[in-house]
Structure formats: C-alpha cells, structure tokens
C-alpha cells in the first residue's frame, strides 16, 4: 500500500493569524505531498531493484528513502503539534520528564529555541524520547534526516525550512519559533505522543 498524505486536523485557515492560510496550503498540499510522492517513488524503485536483482541504484535510492521518509514522518507530527489557541506549558508526565531531563521548562525552552533558530540552512528543531536511553533530548536535525539519534521517537517537530515560514515571517525565523510556542503548540498532542512512546 502506498503512503498517503494525511489530511490536516483543522481547516487551512484555522491557525490564522499566527500561521497564515497561504503558507499552510502550500506547505501541506505541495511540500508535504512532495515528500509522500518521493517516498512512494523510492519504495517502488527499491521493489523493482529487488525484483530484477539489479542493485546498482540502491545507494542513491537509500538516500532518497531516508530523505523523503523522514520528511513525511516529521511533517505528519508537525501538523498535529499545532492547534488553534495553542501555547501554554505541558502538564502531567511530560512536564515532569522535562523537569527531570532539562532542569526546568524554561531551561528546556531556551535550549529548544536556541537549537531551532540556529539550524544552518534547512532543518528542524525536535523534541524526542530516546527509548534506548530513557531520556528526552532536543535535536537539531538538518534537512529531515541528518543529525538524528538512534532510538529516538520524535514527539514535537518545529519546521524551520524557509518554506515553513518565509511568506509571513520572511527572514525572522526566531519570530516564527517564538510564535510556535506562544500561540500554536498543542502540548496535549506532545504529551500523548510521549505517553505512547514511553
Ligand atoms: Mn516543511
């Protein structure tokens, strides 16, 4: 079964004025859809290689699989990490784990914003639960797949590719990241993902 683009969990204009409808439409319907298409193409070509026994393209296809597969996963998480009227602070088990692993929510937020705003070029700020170490970590992931950490389950993904924010925020990436936490983040979703991952 090919991968499919998941529908947004809200209307295209639901996150206005903090995340504008035009960016959400392009980002979901063109960019995220492109990763789904690329992932399916990589899987089909790998299946064809296995069927024919011709492994000459496997190196390139493996890289495409990592790029598009990671892009699809992170965008799927990103959309559900936001809601209209978001913001605030986490609660329950996630809040306790953040305090245990980062010292305090404020210290966590400062590290997360610093990691995310300083991505060189295109990438993401990620909060992950590492199943192997039993620890929350903040990762600065380049493109979609580089500088990840084995054992990690992404819980929260903040997109800082220019396509994610440039129409509205232009070069003000830090304003986009600040707005994500002030007005968009859905801590209930992040907390539910933490519960599932743990
Ligand atoms: Mn994106």
What is the residue-wise DSSP string for 114-163? Answer: HHHHT-SSSEEEEEEEETTTTEEEEEEEETTTBT--TTEEEEEEEE-SGG
Q: Specify the pTM.
A: 0.97
Task: At 156, list the tokens.
Answer: 């929260």
Interval between CA 118 and ligand 1 midpoint (Å): 17
Domain with CATH 3.55.40.20 in the chain: 92-197
Q: For the sheet with 123-130, list strands across it.
A: 135-142, 123-130, 152-159
CATH 3.20.190.10 correct for 21-80: no
Categorize the per-residue pLDDT at 34 as very low, low, confident or very high, splitting at 50, 70 and 90. very high
Q: Is the pLDDT of residue 1 over 90?
A: no
Residue range(s) occupied by CATH 1.10.287.990 in the chain = 21-80
- pLDDT score, position 33: 98
CATH number of the structural domain 92-197: 3.55.40.20
Q: How many whole angstroms from 163 Cα to the centroid of ligand 1?
A: 6
For 75-121, the pLDDT digits (tens) are 999 999 999 999 999 999 999 999 999 999 999 999 999 999 999 99
Tokens 């992404």 sit at which residue?
Answer: 154
**Is there a contact between 82 and 187 (Cβ–Cβ < 8 Å)?**
no
Residue range 122-180, pLDDT digits in tens: 999 999 999 999 999 999 999 999 999 999 999 999 999 999 999 999 999 999 999 99
Find the 161 Cα to ligand 1 centroid distance in Å. 6
| Ligand 1 midpoint to CA 20 (Å) | 14
Compute, in angstroms, the gap from residue 180 CA to the centroid of ligand 1.
14
Q: What is the pLDDT of residues 15-28, one digit of tens each?
A: 999 999 999 999 99
């Amino acid at each position: 079964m090919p991968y499919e683009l998941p529908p947004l969990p809200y209307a295209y204009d639901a996150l206005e004025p903090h995340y504008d409808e035009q960016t959400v439409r392009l980002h979901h319907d063109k960019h995220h859809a492109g990763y789904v298409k690329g992932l399916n193409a990589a899987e089909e070509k790998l299946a064809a290689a296995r069927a024919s026994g011709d492994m000459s393209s496997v190196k390139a296809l493996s890289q495409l699989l990592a790029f598009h597969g990671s892009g699809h996963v992170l965008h799927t998480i990103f959309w559900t990490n936001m809601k209209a009227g978001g913001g605030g602070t986490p609660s329950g088990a996630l809040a306790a784990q953040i305090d245990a692993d980062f010292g305090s929510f404020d210290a966590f937020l400062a590290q997360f914003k610093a990691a995310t705003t300083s991505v060189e070029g295109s990438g993401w700020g990620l909060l992950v639960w590492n199943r192997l170490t039993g620890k929350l970590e903040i990762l600065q992931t380049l493109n979609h797949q580089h500088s990840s950490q084995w054992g990690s389950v992404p819980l929260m993904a903040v997109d800082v590719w220019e396509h994610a924010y440039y129409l509205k925020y232009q070069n003000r990436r830090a304003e986009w990241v600040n707005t994500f936490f002030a007005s968009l983040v859905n801590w209930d979703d992040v907390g539910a993902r933490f519960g599932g991952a743990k």
